[in-house]
Structure formats: C-alpha cells, structure tokens
Amino acid sequence: MKYLKKLIITTLVLSLCSAGFGFSASALVIHENDFGFEVNTSKHQATLISYSGNGGSVILPEYFRNYPVTVIGKNAFSGNENIKEVIFSGTNTTVEEYAFMGCSSLETVTIPENVVNFGDRAFAECGALKTVTLLSDMVSMPTNMFSGCSSLENLTINEKIADFGYGCFNGCSSLSNLDFVKNGAMLDSYSFNGGGAESVELSDSLTAIPNYAFTNSPNLKYVTIPESVMLIQPYAFDWENITVFCYFDSYAHAFAKEKNIPYVLINSFMLGDVNADSYISINDVTDIQRHIAELEELNELSLLAADANQDRDTDISDATTLQWYLAEFDVPYPIGEYISHSS
C-alpha cells in the first residue's frame, strides 16, 4: 500500500512537471515562461513573486492559468537591471514592499485605477525612472513610494490623492511641477524633501506642515500657504531661500513675521504702497500721477492701494495725500497699514 501511494504521488508530480510547472522545495512556487508564481487555491488568486526575462517593456500577467494575478510580491523585480517599462494588467490590485525597488533601467510606469495597495518603497531608488502615470484610485500616497527616483520629471497623478505619506517623493530632484500638491490635505515628513520645484501651492484643506516636508530643495523659492494651516514646524522648509505667500492675519502671516521670513500678502494691500514693494515712497506718488495721465495701468490691488484718502476714487488728491504723509504731516488715513480685500 505504501509503495502504491508513493507511486501515485510521484506520477502526479511528474505529470505536473511535464505540463510546464516547476516546484521549489519550500513552497508551492510555480515557474512559467519568465515569471514565478505562488498560488492561493483557497482565495483563487496568484501572486507574481519573481521575473527572469530579458527586460524591456514588461506587461504584468493578468492570469496564471485560471488564477487571476492580483499581487505583485515582495522583491519580485527588486534590483532588476533590464526592465525599462512596466504595464499593469486589469487583475493586478496590490504591489508589495520593495517590488520594483532599485530597478536601475526602469524609465516608464503606468499604474491603472485597479492597483490600489502599495507596500513600502515599491518603486524606490529607480534612478532612471522618468515618467509615471499614476491613475490608481488610492487616496493616500504610500511611504517612500518613489523615494530616490532622481530622474522623475513627468508625473500624471490621480487628483483624489489627498495624503502624501512619509518620504513618498523624497529625493525626486527632477520633479519640478508640484501643482498636484494643492490637493493634499495631509503631508508627512520628507514627503517632498530634495525636490526640484521652484514654487508650491498648498491645499486649503491642509492644517499642518511637518518638519522636513520640503527641505533640501535649492530651487524652491515661493510657497503659498492657505489660511487653513494652523501649525508650521520650524524645519518644514529651508526658510533662507523662501518667500511666503499668505493671507493677512493668518497663522502663516504671523509665523513669517516672527521668523523674519519674506512674505507677500494675498488679497491684501498696504494703503499707499501702489507698486507693492512694501514701502511708501515718492515712487508711489509717481505711479498715481502716471495712472491719472493714462500712462500706466494699475491692477485691482494697486488701485485700492492708490486710494490713499479712501474716497473710492483714484485722483490727484490721493497723490497729494501721500505727499503729505511722506512730509510727515498727520493724515487721517491708515497709510502704511495692511488692509484685507475680498475679491
């Protein structure tokens, strides 16, 4: 009887092997074509765990036999030097930690709506990665997802993403367009540390900016901080390079004044400061005169600043009022003070 059982098992294994399967000694690992799979029969799904192909453009399998390939496993492609493009399939939903970490030739990744779960450092340290199309329905950017992808410059991202996790774009020094950040209600430390953008506008749903969120970004010069922000950590930015755009009497306004950080007030103006250089001078008088003579056109805020006597009209009396102010006569108007304006 024992001999008969052994013969049946041996025959079964040989039959599977002849059908193109290979098994590891430790687990049900099945190799077919360029991929290795683990099959979960109870969940009726497969995990892609390895790749041994020649690289180039790789389309991830949709099915292994009758099992949908739902998971790209831990370290499945990690350290691969040959793949240049990754295209996901419709059954793929999960990318585990380190799955594509350190793929040194990877240049293009397209992630569709159905891929929504990502482990730590899924695409980290892919130094040649230039283009990412991230259409995933996820709402949170995972930890260190593209950390160290120093060539990343073309990023299409799902506007639903509102939470940018720890280090998600850390060290992406070629990423110069951060327009998508204005959708982010939450930022974590190092999320955009070491970036390449010149300016960033933060979301009006954001309440806090953590330390090191945007540090080590030598190109970054202009930051727009909304009224919703009620906490700015002292090392959130390299402040010596930054001009803050903020709202009158907001937390960011008070923070900039306290830390002696250059700032520009949004939808606010200094009465009399027609040229918006933060000073009242004879140049402002000249700008009013040029405007009256139709030699210069003033924008909305400049016109409000030019109305020195606050009679809702810009005329020669405003220039005279500023001249009296500059001559240090008392004038009954708040010249030199900031006034909030709702457009």
Mean pLDDT score of the chain: 90
- Residue 332: pLDDT band (50, 70, 90) is very high
- The answer to whether 224 and 266 are in contact (CB under 8 A) is yes
**Sole residue written with tokens 């027609």:** 274
Closest CA to 301 of 264, 326, 252, 327: 264
Better-predicted residue by pLDDT, 12 or 227: 227
As its CATH architecture, domain 20-160 has: Alpha-Beta Horseshoe (3.80)
Tell me the C-alpha to C-alpha distance, in Å, between residue 57 and each of 87, 97, 121: 8, 21, 21
276: left (phi over 0), alpha (psi -120 to 50) or beta: left
Domain 162-266 in CATH 3.80.10.10? The answer is yes
- The answer to whether 314 and 294 are in contact (CB under 8 A) is no
**Sole residue written with tokens 């930015």:** 237
Element counts in the chain: helices (H) and strands (E):
5, 23
Angle at 249 between CA 246 and CA 254, to 5 degrees: 75
pLDDT by residue (tens digit) across 56-65? Answer: 999 999 999 9
The one-letter code for the residue type at 29 is V
Does the structure show a pLDDT above 70 at 4?
Answer: no
Closest CA to 20 of 34, 9, 10, 6: 34
Closest CA to 76 of 109, 102, 100, 110: 100
Largest CA distance in the chain: 116
Does the structure show a pLDDT above 90 at 242?
Answer: yes
What does the pLDDT read at residue 342?
58
Say which CATH class 269-340 falls into: mainly alpha
Neighbouring residues of 166: CB distance < 8 A, sequence distance ≥ 6 = 143, 144, 188, 189, 190, 191
The arithmetic mean of pLDDT across residues 149-176, rounded, is: 96
Neighbouring residues of 19: CB distance < 8 A, sequence distance ≥ 6 = none
- The answer to whether 341 and 304 are in contact (CB under 8 A) is yes
The pTM of the full predicted model, rounded to 2 decimals, is 0.78
Give the start-to-end residue ranges of the domains of the chain. Answer: 20-160, 162-266, 269-340
pLDDT by residue (tens digit) across 68-97? Answer: 999 999 999 999 999 999 999 999 999 999
Q: Is 162-266 the same fold as 20-160?
A: yes
The one-letter code for the residue type at 304 is L
The arithmetic mean of pLDDT across residues 145-174, rounded, is: 96
* Chain length of the chain: 343
Q: What percent of the chain has pLDDT over 70?
A: 92
- Residue 338: pLDDT band (50, 70, 90) is confident
Cα-Cα end-to-end distance for the chain: 91
pLDDT by residue (tens digit) across 11-30? Answer: 334 344 434 444 433 347 89
Do strands 117-118 and 140-141 pair parallel, antiparallel, or not at all (unpaired)? unpaired
